[in-house]
Amino acid sequence: MSKRVLTTESGAPVADNQNSASAGVGGPLLIQDQQLLEKLARFNRERIPERVVHARGSGAYGYFEVTDDVTGYTHADFLKSTGKRTEVFVRFSTVADSLGGADAVRDPRGFAVKFYTEEGNYDLVGNNTPVFFIKDPIKFPDFIHSQKRDPFTGKQEPDNVWDFWGHSPEATHQVTWLMGDRGIPASYRHMNGYGSHTYQWTNEQGEAFFVKYHFKTNQGIRCLSTEQAQEVAGKDANSHQTDLLQAIERGVNPSWTLYVQIMPAAEAADYRFNPFDLTKVWPHKDYPLRRVGRLVLDRNPDNVFAEVEQAAFSPNNFVPGIGPSPDKMLQGRLFAYADAQRYRLGVNHTLLPVNAPRATAADNYGRDGFMALNGQGRHAKNYEPNSYDGPVETGRPLSAPLAVNGHTGTHEAPQHTKDDDFFQAGELYRLMSEDEKSRLVANIAGGLSQVSRDDVIERNLAHFHAADPEYGKRVEEAVRALRED
Ligand code: HEM
């Protein structure tokens, strides 16, 4: 059998891939050595900017299958009939650390799903937590700066982490969640996923509903204690990646059941708290879970860089029947993702196979730019309207319009009262068993006691006291005990 020939990037055969061309046996190297120059130059350009958050991640392909009828609430085509399957790509991630970090850490996990529907790609870019730390996107860069590496010490600093939380009472619910047992999932397979935000569904009649998505793991929830996580991270920094890859290779395909909570749009204005506040959950007794379908992952990507690193999810990739709510955080995210991807991957990132529509094709007048890999519409007209059968608009909005009122300005979220920031944190604490409470208190105290300033500690203690007096007292005592040691 003849051997495959090694070639340069332009396809010419390479004569020697072990020895550079030199002027004489021991002499300096020659600039005419195309193989050497190209190889070194290409290597220098292998890295691209990592995601500014959620840099570490793992991905897999699979499908979403509708099991229950939701056509009364949305006319989204991929949810139209039970039994219908849609191909998906899912990327899981940690949030705060850079690519070189470890998987088994206390941190929220990303849970991003790309549905390749016949009406275009629908991206649901959520986390493994139903709530978030802040409720206005203008605070996001400050929040992330406080959680990532300090500009001077080059590492995550308890001072910064807790200083930001101390100034952000709305974070108390998510902090309670993160410091509890679910704060360190054992693997990506053993955790739930949440859309977290409130989204909008619209049915054929144009009626609007607000919805929250819940992906419940069928593998069961499994978590690691702080001590177990340290051991796992020390043995295999890529423990989540190893687990997901190997499970799918063995044919043990992970799955999740998708449920939604549905609120008729008219109920939003009078609900007892702002239903678009990302720091809150909707109690299930008000809006019960309704089953929608099953998410199954059954195929590993062939190439991590091409498919996982270059994957681009954007919360503003909606399909007809699904749209945004007025959640301010979501509104901010509608801008941030595609902008980040134009920087990280380039303006033509939507042409990459993992990001391009699969069940339909993109057809528009966007042209050119760096790495314009497709035919760019060939000889078709690149303006609209035109007289040459180019693609035209449908005239049908993707989702129902959102009602607005009042004046422009920098407003606090509607329906906001001061105790709002704490009551669900308190409810979560009171729901925990005695053992869970003890671990939660120990985890918080372990972090908070490392803070160097008393005022930062006091501000945080005040939040736990406000959530539940017993919760506050126990954290305070545990912090004091650790600081006296
Ligand atoms: C990734 C911004 C809040 C989940 C990212 C990226 C940016 C970003 C710029 C990197 C995108 C890329 O380079 O491809 C923001 C802003 C937020 C916000 C400005 C608030 C205003 C959230 C929330 C969630 C979330 C609330 C979950 C509910 C994710 C996930 C990824 C991500 C899962 C990784 C997606 C992937 O796997 O590629 N975010 N984010 N983010 N964000 Fe956010």
The topology under which CATH files domain 57-153+182-351 is Catalase HpII,  Chain A, domain 1 (2.40.180)
Q: By the 8 A CB rule, do 346 and 354 touch?
A: no
Structure tokens given for 200 = 């909008």
CA of 314 to the centre of ligand 1 (A): 8
Pocket perturbation via mutation, ligand 1, pick of 278, 310, 333 by most ligand atoms within 8 A of CB: 333
Using a cut of 0.90, tell me whether the model's pTM lies above it. yes
Q: Is the CB of 313 under 6 A from ligand 1?
A: yes
What is residue 256's predicted lDDT score, i.e. its pLDDT?
99
Give the DSSP H or E segment for 209: strand 208-217
* Residue 185: cis peptide before it, omega within 30 degrees of 0: no
Q: Is the CB of 54 under 6 A from ligand 1?
A: yes
Q: Is the CB of 60 under 6 A from ligand 1?
A: no
Over range 470-485, report the average pLDDT: 95
For 1-46, which CATH class? few secondary structures
Residue minimizing CA distance to atom 7 of ligand 1: 337
127 is catalytic: yes
Residues 104-155: tens digit of each pLDDT: 999 999 999 999 999 999 999 999 999 999 999 999 999 999 999 999 999 9
Instruction: Please state, in angstroms and as integers, the Cα–Cα distance from residue 31 to each residue in 7, 35, 181, following that order.
Output: 18, 10, 60
Q: Based on the number of CB atoms within 10 Å of its own CB, is 428 exposed (0-12), middle (13-18) or buried (19 or more)?
A: buried
Residue minimizing CA distance to atom 4 of ligand 1: 126
What residue spans define the domains of the chain?
A: 1-46, 57-153+182-351, 423-484
What is residue 412's predicted lDDT score, i.e. its pLDDT?
83
- Residue 374 pLDDT grade (very low, low, confident, very high; cuts 50, 70, 90): confident
CA of 53 to the centre of ligand 1 (A): 7
Over range 363-377, report the average pLDDT: 93
Residues 275-288: tens digit of each pLDDT: 999 999 999 999 99
Q: Is the CB of 112 under 6 A from ligand 1?
A: yes
Q: Is the CB of 127 under 6 A from ligand 1?
A: yes
Quick check: helix, strand or coil at residue 80?
Answer: coil
Amino acid at 208: A
- Residue 416 pLDDT grade (very low, low, confident, very high; cuts 50, 70, 90): low
One of 121, 127, 160, 348 is an active-site residue; which one? 127
Quick check: helix, strand or coil at residue 125?
Answer: strand
One of 54, 75, 197, 214 is an active-site residue; which one? 54
Whether residue 417 has pLDDT greater than 80 = no
What is residue 419's predicted lDDT score, i.e. its pLDDT?
57
Q: Is the CB of 93 under 6 A from ligand 1?
A: yes
Task: Report the C-alpha gap between 54 and 312 in whole angstroms.
Answer: 12
What is residue 147's predicted lDDT score, i.e. its pLDDT?
97
465 is catalytic: no
Checking ipTM against 0.90, whether it exceeds it is yes
